[in-house]
Structure 1
Amino acid sequence: MTISVGDKLPDVTLVKPTENGPEKIQSGEFFAGRKVALFSVPGAFTPTCSARHLPGYVEKADELKAKGVDEIACTAVNDAFVLGAWQGANDASDVTMLADGNGDFAQAVGLTMDGSGFGMGQRGQRYSMIVDDGVVKELNVEQPGDFSVSSAEHMLGQL
């Protein structure tokens, strides 16, 4: 079942890349007590994700925070090393990377996609959500191949 507005996020283990290496964190702990702008990409270093999705959140970070967002986070079915490298390559220090290496979070929220036709296996869909104290307040799921409703610009209009 796909997560909906008003639902509490499931509590699964994610991994943050840090200066000291990968750090496990429970999603319940990460999202507790604050407003998070979360976006999901099918894969780090992929064309739309690298050219438009992540850069939009980097460029709009100050505007999102001015509208009450405490943290901007990105999740992908990639390992923490790949997401850390992607973060560095894009000067995205304002975005917390949350690696979902096994796709547990993507499965728990019901937002997986089959990327095997592109040699990518099971991945998370492209989406964004505003999460307030662990509860989904806005959910924007893209149609396959699209990029519009999960953008930072769209999210700004929802805050």
Structure 2
Amino acid sequence: MSDAATPEEDAPKKPSKLPLIIGLVLALAGGAGGFYAAFSGMISGLGGSAEAGDHGADGDHAGEADHDSPDSPLPDVAFVELPQIVVSLGEGSATDHLIFRADLEVPSAKAEEVRSILPRVIDVLNSYLRALEPTDVQGPSALIRLRGQMLRRIQLVTGEGRVRDLLVMEFVLN
């Protein structure tokens, strides 16, 4: 009877998962540390700080301005002012009107071209703003979403490369 194996001896032992867990934790910590070092500029040439980076073989910035330097030239832009637009929001709104005013950021060479088609830009903005529902202009992210929609419509009207950005100067719910 001493030759009979007990059930505890027949069961194979499971390998420990502790080395796998330790390896996974160390890999995640190393990845996070590497990301932080590259993003903050501790490792030169991988991003983050512009002064630590490699700017190419001939020393230029490959089209990017060094915005941290006070001696860097300002971009060649002009601003085209849009007239104030007042839009009624309709029934079901806590406010009656939306007052909107903005400027367009354009390359200096294209400023006169954009000014010449300003009536089309105003028309597309009026059409878009009047079609908004009261819920579209309320909420913390409403202005960001509306700005993106308006910029895309303006860029379609003005043509490729004429309008870089839409700068919202006034957005009042009254």
Normalised by the size of structure 2, how large is the TM-score? 0.21
Normalised by the size of structure 1, how large is the TM-score? 0.22
Q: Which has the higher strand share?
A: 1
Q: Which has the higher helix share?
A: 2
Tell me: higher relative CO, structure 1 or 2? Use CA pairs within 8 A at least 6 residues apart.
1
